Amino acid sequence: MGETLVAELGLSARLAGQGDTAGIADQSGNERRIAPTGTTEAEIAIDSHATERTTRRIDQPDRCLKCRSVHPSLLPMTQTPLTDRPALIRNRLRAARAPALFLQEVAADEIEDRLAVVNKSFTAPAVVTGFPEFWQARLPETRVVADDDTLALEPGAHDLVIHAMCLHWASDPVGQLIQMRRALRPDGLMLGALLGGGSLQELRVALAQAEADVTGGLSPRILPMGEIRDLGALLQRAGYTLPVADRLPLSVEYRDPLHLMRDLRAMGETNAMSARPRRMMRRAVLNRACDIYAREFGAGAGRIPATFEMIFLTGWSPDESQPQPLRPGSAKARLADALGAEEKPLKD
């Protein structure tokens, strides 16, 4: 079937969080202002001319913790599902009272941009989401279904299916992708938007180190999320053609880690893992985590950054009209001739 195309968008974003909102100066790209009704009053600027992204890393001799996000779908199967669905639904219902949906807004804008460049009209779209009111308002002619383990999608009923910012919570992401492919007509399009493994890396490190320092152990507090190359491979496993995976890193600034945690609560993205601790976090652990976060990742002027890695997946249901790879050895022209280069044969 070939390899999945994996691309990293040359985009950077800076968002000033709750409190004394900082303005953004000298941004040459396309600026959008987002003012959610939840806990964040924010301004976000996406610079389409950025060519690289600066990342701070902790590299200290006295640190032995390595926090890498590995999605359970890439590990041996277990009896316990990754996500506690009742807890996830409760988190979303609580967030709906005063939502902070700026990540949903960014995802919706990106999906609309991608659909605008597709040379095809879609007459039977569907959206899989945990926030039906938001996506129904953005795409009013679209059928909206919940991201349950079994999707309420009929086979071959749609020419477009969008999985909107909830695939990272799926206990079986491959199963979700397969169900969407079966719901597509031949040459139908699947678009997925989700959070990737680079999301909340600062909070992940701070909580892990704080709990190790205070209690001597670790608890699952932040959802493991897939890496872009692994997620691209899932498209092939699910049977999609012309698969593409790309990423959009966003750097969000908050006054302190507590304001970040409040925003995560207003997004419906707080801990809903089946293996999560069922008791309140100890105050000593929380205070220690805030200190580590501010010391190791502080952005200056009393602010801290939070990374959100948004990953977008694109795939088509198979159809004979799509471009097909040629049989190996069937080329009629030499690559060296096309490049005007001298061909040097390899030694036996």
Tokens describing residue 256: 């302190």
Does 213 map to a domain? yes
- Residue 105 is part of which domain span? 5-18+32-53+79-321
Report how far residue 287's alpha carbon sits from residue 161's, in angstroms, rounded to the nearest whole number: 43
Does 67 map to a domain? no
- Chain centroid, CA 315 distance in Å: 16
Q: Which residues contact 298 (CB under 8 A, 6 or more apart)?
A: 304
CATH code (residue 136):
3.40.50.150
Question: Are 139 and 346 in contact, with CB atoms under 8 Å apart?
Answer: no
pLDDT tens digits, the chain, 348 residues: what are they?
A: 455 555 544 433 434 443 332 322 333 333 333 333 344 333 333 333 333 333 333 333 333 344 444 454 444 444 688 999 999 999 999 999 999 999 999 999 999 999 999 999 999 999 999 999 999 999 999 999 999 999 999 999 999 999 999 999 999 999 999 999 999 999 999 999 999 999 999 999 999 999 999 999 999 999 999 999 999 899 999 999 999 999 999 999 999 999 999 999 999 999 999 999 989 999 999 999 999 999 999 877 789 999 999 999 999 999 988 888 778 878 888 888 888 888 888 876
Question: Are 310 and 167 in contact, with CB atoms under 8 Å apart?
Answer: no
Question: Are 46 and 12 in contact, with CB atoms under 8 Å apart?
Answer: yes
Does 345 map to a domain? no
Does 262 map to a domain? yes
| Angle, helices 283-297/201-215, rounded to nearest 10 degrees | 130
Does 235 map to a domain? yes
| Angle, helices 257-267/201-215, rounded to nearest 10 degrees | 120
Number of H helices, E strands in the chain: 9, 10
Domains held by the chain: number: 1
Does 72 map to a domain? no
Question: Are 256 and 294 in contact, with CB atoms under 8 Å apart?
Answer: yes
Does 316 map to a domain? yes
Does 64 map to a domain? no
